Structure 1
């Protein structure tokens, strides 16, 4: 077994849990190297303390699993088969049909699949493996950091592409299309999440949805996007002004930029995560915009665009070397618009390294 599977197996033994069923595609990729989107079909890794794991999946995915490098047990089923009948037989072969404790991803497990698993051993108790897997995934190795660094480079390129596409009357969706087309041209298969391009007052919605809003002089333009490279996500936000900017919008921009600088200055090992949030929030509050910063300062980044940790003002957990996080203060004023500046960074032994490099000085696009 690879060292990640061995760690999971060791945790099961330590916790007195007979088996784990892992279904989240991000966790499957992390533990096995197999990348899939199962849709409604069951794809699951069954792990045990001190025994070989196995994967169960549809027949149409079997060759891809083999090509991913998986060398342990594989059981494939057809669309007319009931995979739970097969799982019952596999567990019976291991004398595990009377298991008492099973570890599952509670946030990912559907009620129907929980019922199917419990039908195999009705007295069993389900326990969460999510916190343990989150703790495993939060510290990245060099291979993961290299992938994240490359994903960040493409995110920089995507912002540059979006800015180049700005012209009077263009729509938010047209700019999204230009960005995503160029990323496909560069060999990027998918974005980390739905690309966000927001013009004018719409930029004041932190999670706005791009539409047919036409670009006008004086608009703030907010880009929030990322790409997946070798299974790892990037996440960048930049805000620019189109042709001109009001005095207050300029003041908001500089406040956000200074807030991010203050937050970044706290990013080093052993710093409580709440201090990163508080550093940015203090700058924004002192400028009079405290009520307009409604979200946390950042989040973990890796296989998923949002993963542990959550960097908010009450999280006393410490930053550690090898974490990849975002730092993204923002100010959103409905009648003016919004400014957010977001970077990806890796915590190093003596501080941090910023992975996203697109300039952060205020740009007025002509």
Structure 2
């Protein structure tokens, strides 16, 4: 399904005009893609979508080596290529000739260097934060976006199903991570949406641990947290936890509590209630069982064309859940020296307020031999 980039861009421009923003500059690669269809990581080079409401025109500034790709992918066809020896802020000033007094920026991502360069180029400008509106647009996922997100979920679940067949006692976390990332591309993904997390035994108690030379052993928890990015640029993010060989009663207890917490968090999801409700519902299960001290992170986050987007599902977020929001529910218990369990699903509040769970991979405890 195609994405209506034009409508997204028109919605933003209408908002900017209503706020009397004369010129807006968007530099976050994910936001540039969201509005234009052009995806690139410029690294240290300058890339920006410029909306000039004084002239009712738009420009896409890209590194010269990306010019052809931008011309092919972007709905904004006025493309300004900047070669490595040129000063991008001088080029920007040349193209935005005339005085600018109200300049819109993504305040959270503008560096001090960028601010200083802009201040030199446009000394009369006062800067306004346009990021909250952009975040609000991206917060609500269309059905077209969900189709792409579901594709990313389906691929990672194929990877999980095939990947756990390759688990062997004695293989390292890194070896399994490599097998999983090979499968991602074999099943049609562009690659991982983040560095694949494979943690065995006591290392599974590290929520964002890094795979290493730790070997997988009989009796270990095995935590696998991974996702893919597909060609349409949408991400998935799924976690499942397994036990190798045989589970102890303690492992079964911890796993069952996390599963109940995951189910309680999902059951609490509905439109119109504070987002904190979902975290509180999931957290209460773990706290009531005496493991509250071992669950010290939020229960979920939004995702889309980036791995972490709005909304943030934590116990103090008073913002209301709305139709169109998609986010993870991923409670966990992490006990030092013993290990940890996390179960993560992706949940969507659809156009009519119904709850759709994109993830389908089984959640009952699986023992891998």
TM-score range, shorter-chain basis? over 0.9
Structure 1 residue 69 displacement after superposition: 4.0
Q: How does 1:281-320 map to 2 (within 5 A)?
A: 281-320=283-322
TM-score by length of 2: 0.95
Is the Cα contact below 8 Å between 2:58 and 2:76 reproduced in 1?
no
What is the 5 A alignment of 1:41-60?
41-49=45-53, 51-60=56-65
Which residue of the partner structure matches residue 179 of structure 2? 178
Please say if residues 88 and 120 of structure 1, whose CA atoms lie closer than 8 Å, have aligned partners that are also in contact.
Answer: yes
Aligned counterpart for 2:258 among listed residues 256, 271, 285: 256
- Could you tell me how far apart the structure 1 residues matched to 2:76 and 2:235 are? 27
Measure how far apart 1:16 and its partner are.
Answer: 2.0
Residue equivalent to 2:24: 20
Whether contact under 8 Å (1:155, 1:356) holds in the other structure is no
**C-alpha deviations, 1:59-78, integer Å up to 9, x for none?**
21111111114243111122
For residues 189 and 24 of structure 1, the distance between their equivalents in structure 2, rounded to whole angstroms, comes to: 20
- Cα RMSD, aligned residues only: 1.3
Q: Give the Cα–Cα distance (whole angstroms) in 2 for the partners of residues 325 and 301 of structure 1.
A: 6
2:162 aligns with 161
C-alpha separation in 1, matches of 2:19 and 2:282: 39
Aligned to 1:80: 85
SS at match of 2:70: helix
Equivalent residues, number: 362
Of 6-15 and 24-33, the range deviating more from structure 2: 6-15
Aligned to 2:206: 205
CA distance in 2, matches of 1:218, 1:12: 58
* Stretch moving more, 199-208 or 15-24: 15-24
- Per the alignment, residue 142 of structure 1 pairs with 143
CA contact (8 A) 1:161 1:178 kept: no
Where structure 2 has 5 or more consecutive residues not aligned to the other structure, the ranges are none
**Counterpart for residue 109 of structure 1:** 110
Q: Secondary structure at the match of 2:199?
A: strand
Secondary structure at the aligned position of 2:333 is classed as strand
Residue 43 of structure 2 corresponds to 39
Q: Take 1:310 and 1:161, find their aligned partners in 2: how far apart are those partners?
A: 31
Contact 1:249 1:336 in 2 (8 A): no
* Alpha-carbon offset, residue 125 of structure 1: 2.2
1:154-174 deviation digits (Å, cap 9, x = unpaired): 111122233112111000000
Distance apart, 1:25 and its partner CA: 0.6
| Residue 351 of structure 1: how far off its partner (Å) | 2.8
> Deviations along 1:199-218, whole A, 9 cap, x unmatched?
00000011101001001100
Which one is further off, 294-303 or 266-275?
266-275
Separation (CA, whole Å) in 1 of partners of 2:262 and 2:360: 14
Displacement of 1:124 in angstroms is 2.1
Q: Secondary structure at the match of 1:232?
A: coil
* Helix, strand or coil at the partner of 2:156: helix
Residue 354 of structure 1: which of 337, 352, 357 is its match? 357
Render the CA deviation track for 1:282-309: whole Å, top value 9, x for unaligned: 1000100011110011011100010001
| d(CA) in 2 for partners of 1:190, 1:18 | 39
CA contact (8 A) 1:293 1:330 kept: yes
Which residue of 2 is the match for residue 322 of structure 1? Answer: 324
CA distance in 1, matches of 2:164, 2:186: 17
Give 1:89's aligned residue. 94
Equivalent of 1:5 in 6, 9, 30: 9
